[in-house]
């Protein structure tokens, strides 16, 4: 499951990139090289018909919950595809799951990322890879969010989950059984504004593996406290060759991704 990812741009840069209205940041925002459940991260929502970026907690708690739940992923198939068949073409059961049926209809968000971390199904982040898009420094994963009110304190928490789908070829090479839903740029506004549930659920598909790559990184990333660019440095070769003209090496990948792995 996609439980760790990276966002390093400044708040103002993200607002410009996604054409959102200027927003006061109520929860402090900093570049984060190891976002995990419980972290706060920028997402784009629709407010009064206008895209707005807010800093929201990763790990969704439904409005009806009796306590915080931190549901960081939402399966697009719901209870379908029990064995994670990569060829599954059945229904999108997310529309009927109690925690997600309201958000998928009314509370969708864009989860901004530079890259995400994934590992094999068994070893998980004990054998991590940094996954990125070859031609896009920033991309958006399909997200849903909800607002939870603590009955004891009255505190309101807005939180989100990343939607997952079947594994594409890159995730299969890693040995993982799921993919986060990465949206094509032309579909990002449809994800926010669409009202046709059928059209919305058609977006819940794996991103083309040919447009992605991944390389192994140190297992120290498993600890969320290890939050710095050096923990994302390659420790091996990429899973897919980028071009025939470029001799792929660890140093090449590190140089290529300096814009992602920069320090503010």
Please report whether residue 182 resides in a domain. yes
Please report whether residue 48 resides in a domain. yes
pTM over 0.85: yes
Give the integer Cα–Cα distance in Å for 183 and 1. 17
Q: What is the pLDDT of residue 257?
A: 54
Greatest pairwise CA separation for the chain in angstroms: 61
User: What one-character-per-residue DSSP string does 30-63 give?
Assistant: --EEEE-TT-EEEEEEEETTEEEEEEEEESB--T
Starting at the edge strand found earlier in the chain, the sheet holding 4-7 runs 32-35, 4-7, 115-118, 129-133, 212-216
Q: What is the pLDDT of residue 250?
A: 44
Residue 158: give its domain's CATH number: 3.90.1680.10
* Number of domains the chain contains: 1
Nearest Cα neighbor of 254 from 227, 228, 226, 233 is 233
Q: What is the pLDDT of residue 260?
A: 52
Q: What is the pLDDT of residue 133?
A: 95
Give the integer Cα–Cα distance in Å for 193 and 202. 14
Q: What is the pLDDT of residue 241?
A: 82
Please report whether residue 261 resides in a domain. no
Please report whether residue 180 resides in a domain. yes
Using the CB atoms, write b or e for 35-54: b if 16+ within 10 Å: bbbebbbbbbbbeeeebbbb
CB atoms within 10 A of CB 86: 16
User: What one-character-per-residue DSSP string does 176-242 give?
Assistant: -SEEE-BPPGGGHHHHHH---HHHHHTT-SPPPGGGEEEEE--GGGGSTT--SGGGGS-SS--SS--
Give the integer Cα–Cα distance in Å for 234 and 214. 9
Query: 111 lies in which domain range?
Result: 4-256
- The helix (run of H) or strand (run of E) holding residue 75 is strand 73-75
Q: Which residues touch 15 (CB under 8 Å, ≥6 apart)?
A: 21, 22, 23, 53
Give the integer Cα–Cα distance in Å for 51 and 48. 8
Q: Which residues touch 57 (CB under 8 Å, ≥6 apart)?
A: 38, 39, 40, 157, 158, 159, 160
Please report whether residue 210 resides in a domain. yes
Please report whether residue 245 resides in a domain. yes
Nearest Cα neighbor of 97 from 132, 62, 49 is 62
> In terms of DSSP bridges, do strands 115-118 and 4-7 run parallel, antiparallel, or are they unpaired?
antiparallel
Please report whether residue 36 resides in a domain. yes
Please report whether residue 262 resides in a domain. no
Give the integer Cα–Cα distance in Å for 252 and 180. 26
Report the chain (264 residues): mean pLDDT per 10 consecutive residues: 92 92 79 96 95 96 96 98 96 97 98 98 97 94 98 95 98 98 97 97 97 96 96 94 49 49 44
């Amino acid at each position: 499951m996609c439980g760790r990812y990276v966002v390093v741009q400044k708040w103002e840069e993200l607002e410009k990139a996604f054409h959102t209205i200027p927003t006061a940041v109520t929860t402090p925002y900093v570049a984060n090289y190891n976002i995990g459940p419980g972290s706060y991260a920028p997402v784009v929502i629709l407010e009064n018909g206008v895209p707005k970026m807010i800093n929201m907690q990763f790990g969704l708690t439904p409005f009806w919950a009796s306590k915080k739940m931190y549901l960081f992923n939402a399966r697009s198939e719901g209870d379908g595809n029990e064995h994670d068949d990569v060829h599954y073409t059945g229904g999108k059961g997310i529309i009927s799951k109690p925690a997600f049926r309201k958000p998928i209809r009314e509370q969708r968000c864009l989860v901004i990322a530079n890259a995400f971390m994934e590992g094999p199904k068994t070893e998980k982040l004990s054998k991590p890879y940094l996954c990125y898009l070859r031609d896009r420094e920033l991309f958006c994963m399909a997200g849903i969010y909800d607002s939870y009110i603590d009955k004891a304190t009255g505190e309101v928490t807005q939180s989100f989950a990343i939607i997952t789908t079947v594994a594409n070829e890159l995730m299969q090479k890693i040995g993982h059984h799921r993919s986060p839903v990465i949206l094509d740029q032309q579909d990002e506004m449809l994800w926010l504004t669409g009202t046709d549930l059928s059209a919305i659920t058609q977006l819940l598909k794996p991103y083309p593996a040919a447009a992605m790559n991944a390389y192994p990184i140190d297992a120290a990333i498993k600890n969320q406290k290890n939050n710095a660019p050096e923990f994302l440095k390659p420790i091996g070769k990429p899973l897919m060759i980028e071009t025939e003209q470029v001799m792929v090496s660890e140093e090449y990948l590190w140089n290529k991704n300096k814009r992602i792995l920069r320090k503010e």
